[in-house]
A and B are shown apart, each in its own frame.
Chain A
Amino acid sequence: MSKNTVSDRFRKVDVDEYDENKFVDEEEGGENQQGPDEAEVDSLIRQGNLMGALQAVLKNPPINTKNQNVKDRAEGLVLKVLSSFKSTDIEKGVQSLDKNGVDLLMKYIYKGFERPSENSSAVLLQWHEKALSAGGVGCIVRVLTARKTV
């Protein structure tokens, strides 16, 4: 059999980088987004005020920032709040959110699905069911089509 002696490094070139018509998203100032306030959320959880913790953790979502750490931290915090809810209270928690809140919650839920840990998927699935009945499939479509997400 003949052996290929010419270099095949060209196969590893990312041609999309050189495409002059490549679509680049608009840059929106995301440097100041720090994500939800960790101290505030922690204190609310300790006080047992889970509704308040839910509202607090959904504030200031790090949507526009490019800093992956901020996003990971926010996701971890949200997961903590969601796991501390009792199963029967989940529905009330979802009802307390407005439309944008439900959309944001769904974004965090799907982000949580991406990296499952010990018990996270079970908790997230319960939240997913309640969020789906509140937001409908349109809510999930918005998670899928969002260019900038948590």
Chain B
Amino acid sequence: MSYHSFLLEPISCHAWNKDRTQIALCPNNHEVHIYKKDGSNWNKIHVLKEHNGQVTGIDWAPESNRIVTCGTDRNAYVWTLKGDAWKPTLVILRINRAARCVKWSPKENKFAVGSGSRLISVCYFEQDNDWWVCKHIKKPIRSTILCLDWHPNNVLLAAGSCDFKCRIFSAYIKEVEEKPAPTAWGSKMPFGEVMFESTGTAGWVHGVCFSDSGNRVAWASHDSTVAVAEGGKTAVCASLTSETLPLLCVTFITENSLVAAGHDCYPVLFVYDSNKAALSFGGKLDIPKQSAQKGMSARERFQNLDKKATTDSKEAVLESVHKNSISQISILNGGKAQCAKFCTTGMDGGMTIWDVKTLESAMKDLKIV
């Protein structure tokens, strides 16, 4: 895996372009910087300045090459590349609190923005007025929407919220698409319909992700749990309490395996067994450098015993690649079905690219099913 330190401040959010040669990220301020890979260096080629508040979400549509950004200034902008510069188009979201996350739909004809106004704005382009219009999903959301993910059918949207629930909504816009076929989550999908609502989670839902088929949805919440729900006549939920600090982001790398990362600064693998409807811990995915084991002198031992009441020689140094919480994880190659590489960015201003094959061979008991 390769680690690149972009900044000293946290990377608020990032998005990759289609061929993974460019990355757009927000360096914890009002701008979006686009870096281009040049050999082993990253050069800043564009700076997108339009937002008046911190940029909280970026998504780069691979086919149409448009970037959508949203920020704490309650606005979203859709950027298109004209010649050598990115030109913004304002999207009025009609929200009165900050926007928190944004995602293009799989067909890239709409995008959804989650905000602190306790609603989701689903935006689509109206040809007649040459303008982006938005529709709101309000009920029954009772707090900020923290994360979003689209179902491959371009209609269903999973949303994780601060009211301790992960829900799947229908974001069907009749102006831009036809009626969707029935899915595992239901067959009637009018706009704003709740197809699934989780129960039993006790913390804010930080990250949510649909599997490649769309039949499963996983979410990570602030009470240090990860859960997977499988759609069907009655949705089957499996959750796992973990012994680590809360996880902030989660993604499927195959239909049965998830990778999640958070405040513990290293990605973790989880495996879902659909026969038993159970989620299990697969392994820690960080390969720490073996620090030289220094022998402890007797004097050091006594000092430790005096200061910390323990003879442990463990220093308070983080051995993982990321030195601070990982806030976002994105798939680079292989899609959610057979991910070969994924990328994590965090509050240490660094970005790490993880290679699944290398991880599998480096950790003996790791099995990615």
- Which of the candidate stretches A46-54, A77-85, A134-142 sits at the interface with the other chain? A134-142
Partner of B202, one of A99, A136, A137, A147: A147
- The answer for the CA separation of A74 and B319 in the assembled complex, in Å, is 42
Q: Which residues of chain A are near B143, meaning CB under 8 Å?
A: 23
Residue A69 is within 8 A (CB to CB) of chain B in the complex: no
Residue A75 is within 8 A (CB to CB) of chain B in the complex: no
A23/B142 in contact, CB under 8 A: yes
- As a 0/1 sequence over residues 195 to 226 of chain B, the CB contacts with chain A under 8 angstroms (1 = contact) are 00000001100000000000000000011110
Residue B311 is within 8 A (CB to CB) of chain A in the complex: no
Interface size on B, residues (CB 8 A): 17
Residue A5 is within 8 A (CB to CB) of chain B in the complex: no
Q: Which residues of chain A are near B222, meaning CB under 8 Å?
A: 141, 145
Shortest B279–chain A CB gap in Å is: 13
Q: Which residues of chain A are near B241, meaning CB under 8 Å?
A: 99, 103, 138, 142
- Which of the candidate stretches B229-237, B242-250, B270-278, B346-354 sits at the interface with the other chain? B242-250
Count class of interface residues, chain A? 10 to 19
Shortest B24–chain A CB gap in Å is: 32
Residue A119 is within 8 A (CB to CB) of chain B in the complex: no
Q: Which residues of chain B are near A146, meaning CB under 8 Å?
A: 202, 223
Residue A4 is within 8 A (CB to CB) of chain B in the complex: no
Q: Considering the complex, give the chain B residue whose CB is closest to the CB of A138.
A: B224
Residue A117 is within 8 A (CB to CB) of chain B in the complex: no
Residue A2 is within 8 A (CB to CB) of chain B in the complex: no
Q: B: which residues have CB within 8 A of A? A: 118, 142-143, 163-164, 202-203, 222-225, 241-246
Q: Considering the complex, give the chain A residue whose CB is closest to the CB of B223.
A: A145
Shortest B145–chain A CB gap in Å is: 14
B224/A23 in contact, CB under 8 A: no
B243/A137 in contact, CB under 8 A: yes
Q: Which residues of chain B are near A23, meaning CB under 8 Å?
A: 142-143, 163
Q: A: which residues have CB within 8 A of B? A: 21, 23, 99, 103, 135-139, 141-142, 145-147
A21/B118 in contact, CB under 8 A: yes
Q: Considering the complex, give the chain A residue whose CB is closest to the CB of B264.
A: A137
Q: Secondary structure at chain B's binding surface: helix, strand, loop or mixed?
A: loop
A135/B243 in contact, CB under 8 A: yes
- The answer for the CA separation of A138 and B281 in the assembled complex, in Å, is 14
Partner of B223, one of A21, A135, A142: A142
Partner of B244, one of A21, A138, A145: A138
**A23-B142, A23-B163, A145-B202 are known contacts. Are A139 and B243 too (CB-CB below 8 A)?**
yes
B223/A137 in contact, CB under 8 A: no
Listed residue (B142, B164, B224, B242) with the most chain A CB atoms within 10 angstroms of its CB:
B224
24 contacts between A and B (CB under 8 A): A21-B118, A21-B142, A23-B142, A23-B143, A136-B242, A138-B241, A138-B242, A138-B244, A138-B245, A139-B243, A141-B203, A141-B223, A141-B224, A141-B245, A142-B202, A142-B223, A142-B224, A142-B225, A142-B241, A145-B202, A145-B222, A145-B223, A146-B202, A146-B223
Listed residue (A21, A139, A142) with the most chain B CB atoms within 10 angstroms of its CB:
A142
- The answer for the CA separation of A138 and B224 in the assembled complex, in Å, is 5
Listed residue (A99, A103, A135, A145) with the most chain B CB atoms within 10 angstroms of its CB:
A145
Listed residue (B143, B243, B245, B246) with the most chain A CB atoms within 10 angstroms of its CB:
B243
- The answer for the CA separation of A142 and B242 in the assembled complex, in Å, is 10
Q: Considering the complex, give the chain B residue whose CB is closest to the CB of A149.
A: B202
Q: Which residues of chain A are near B142, meaning CB under 8 Å?
A: 21, 23
- The answer for the CA separation of A147 and B244 in the assembled complex, in Å, is 20
Q: Which residues of chain B are near A99, meaning CB under 8 Å?
A: 241
B163/A137 in contact, CB under 8 A: no
B243/A138 in contact, CB under 8 A: yes
Q: Considering the complex, give the chain A residue whose CB is closest to the CB of B243.
A: A136
Shortest A63–chain B CB gap in Å is: 11
Q: Considering the complex, give the chain B residue whose CB is closest to the CB of A136.
A: B243
Q: Which residues of chain B are near A136, meaning CB under 8 Å?
A: 242-244
Shortest B289–chain A CB gap in Å is: 23
Q: Considering the complex, give the chain B residue whose CB is closest to the CB of A134.
A: B243
B244/A137 in contact, CB under 8 A: yes
What 8 pairs across the A-B complex have the smallest Cβ distances? A136-B243, A138-B224, A145-B223, A145-B203, A138-B243, A141-B224, A138-B242, A142-B223
